[in-house]
Structure 1
């Protein structure tokens, strides 16, 4: 019975983490594809990607460690916890961006203006042509009526829920007390 329970726990934990990896990877791939198609990301969009760059490899390492290391190893929980923290940060950044889009608060100054060389008209005109002016409070692309920041809120919420399901925090706390 105990062996069956631990096998089921392993499968459900792996499935949740694998699903989280697929959702997060798809969200980042979609953002990069939309950028490749010609839609420039704003400053907040670029900030929202940073936790993905840490969370995806960390989650992949957790899945690999879960497969290769002996059962009960803390490494898997630590890696999954780090990935969870990363995607919770991504959720907060996406929620902040949605708030900027809806005018609940101001975005960074760099989102609506750029610093230009004003020493001559020619230098200023040359910089205007080379510098994309992307505002954080106006979505450059909408999918089914929702901005990409709104979709990112949904994606990171799903990823965080899946990772929390696979993250056995109570087992870590129990081991810490036993040590």
Structure 2
């Protein structure tokens, strides 16, 4: 019985961590006036999945559910790593939200592309702390949450 309580506690901590990150993201968006880019939104979906997995895993504290929670948080960490690389110019991001050099476009096509481009760019850092962007912080927090999920699976 004590083993299940320990697993439940770890699951609760991990799911609550994803919930806290989601609340933080929504706070930046709605209170801080920083709308998310496409990659920011992509990072949110696995956190929502981890929260839902956590809700189910609290009722059925199975190792397989804890591993699913770990997979969700590792997914968001991977997306956050990719986003960090886009922000730092290590690689190109999605053309729909990054700055790219137009090649082979007519003037009309270029104008249409500019007019259809989203306002929020994935390759700009709207906020940072200690030299790390929100995407970088999300990656680090998500890796820590994945470790907690894995600890829960091992109990």
TM-score (ref. length: structure 2): 0.81
Residue 26 of structure 2: aligned partner: 32
Deviates more, 1:48-57 or 1:143-152: 143-152
Distance in 2, matches of 1:48 and 1:124, equals: 25
Report whether the alignment pairs 1:151 with 2:137. yes
Report whether the alignment pairs 1:13 with 2:12. no
5 Å-filtered alignment, 1:1-179, equals 6-7=1-2, 9-36=3-30, 37-66=32-61, 76-112=62-98, 132-168=118-154
Distance in 2, matches of 1:124 and 1:28, equals: 32
What's the CA shift string for 1:58-108, capped at 9, x where partnerless? 111101223xxxxxxxxx222222221111111111111111111111111
Distance in 2, matches of 1:124 and 1:92, equals: 29
Q: Which of the pair has more CA radius of gyration?
A: 1
Q: 1:100 to 1:11 in 2, by over 3 A?
A: same
Residue ranges of structure 2 left out of the alignment (5+ in a row): 100-107
TM-score (ref. length: structure 1): 0.71
Note the aligned Cα RMSD (angstroms): 2.5
Paired residue total: 146
Shift of 1:12: 2.2
